[in-house]
Amino acid sequence: MTMSPTTETIPSRNTRVLGGITVDDTPLIGRAMELARLHSEPFLFNHAVRSWLFAVRLGQLQGIPFDAEVLAVGALLHDLGLTNAFTGPRRFEIEGADAARTFARKEGLDDRRVQLIWDTVALNSTPSIALYKEADVALCTAGIGLDWGGFQHERIPSSEMKSILAAFPRLDMKNRFTDSVCSIVKTRPETTYDNFARDFGERFVPGYESQSTVDFLMNAPFEE
């Protein structure tokens, strides 16, 4: 993972311990957590919190400076597009990114921090890009990837891993997340052809047929 620490940790007057991990505690982070809790099923909320804790810990262990509030908001709200309140006609990551941007703007964040949050949510399932962006985006993506697919699992000490999982259990995460993505495949298949949701459709949804990007090129209205 290549990350350029372009931002610095914003000092916080308060911290709290969640799942054995010390994190910043600001009103903004608290409101982001409540927004995620309000609209997410328990398994998805726990995934969001674990992703945040893993992102924070990866940054701490590697000595990577980051904006604590941007990291928290990006992680906590990264799957809003999978919730009923923020569903829409576009890729769920974009629906979620727009919702997170609206939240951040209402909270008074400047344009740069708002953009980092939007990028984090929009790119959270595209690590081949996100891991090479700003430290806040890359760390958040790494934390999400760790909880989702176990990437960099070995970086987290086993005692901390147990503590995080005990405080925020997975609640049948693998099957529940699969159901969420398959629901999108069934109802909005056109949003899945160029992203990871296609893999779920091809494996779990009978009759799903994805469009090939090769066909777009070959069928383009040009002679050559």
For 123-160, write each residue's pLDDT tens digit: 999 999 999 999 999 999 999 999 999 999 999 999 99
pLDDT over 70 (residue 2): no
How much is the average pLDDT of 72-83?
Answer: 98
Judge whether residue 75 has pLDDT over 60.
Answer: yes
The C-alpha atoms of residue 110 and residue 58 are separated, in whole angstroms, by 25
Model pLDDT, residue 7: 43
pLDDT at 13: 61
Minimum mean pLDDT among 2-6, 50-54, 86-90, 188-192: which range? Answer: 2-6
CB burial class (10 A; 0-12, 13-18, 19+) of residue 175? exposed
d(CA 50, CA 45): 9
**219 or 11, which is more confident?**
219
Instruction: Say which residue the tokens 């398959």 belong to.
Output: 182
What pTM did the predictor assign? 0.92
Percent of the chain scoring above 70 in pLDDT: 94
Q: What is the dihedral of CA 185, 137, 151, 122, to 10 degrees?
A: 0
For residue 192, pLDDT beyond 50 = yes
Residue 6 pLDDT more than 60? Answer: no
DSSP state of 220: S
Domains (range + CATH), the chain? 15-171 (1.10.3210), 172-224 (no CATH)
**Is 70 exceeded by the pLDDT of residue 210?**
yes
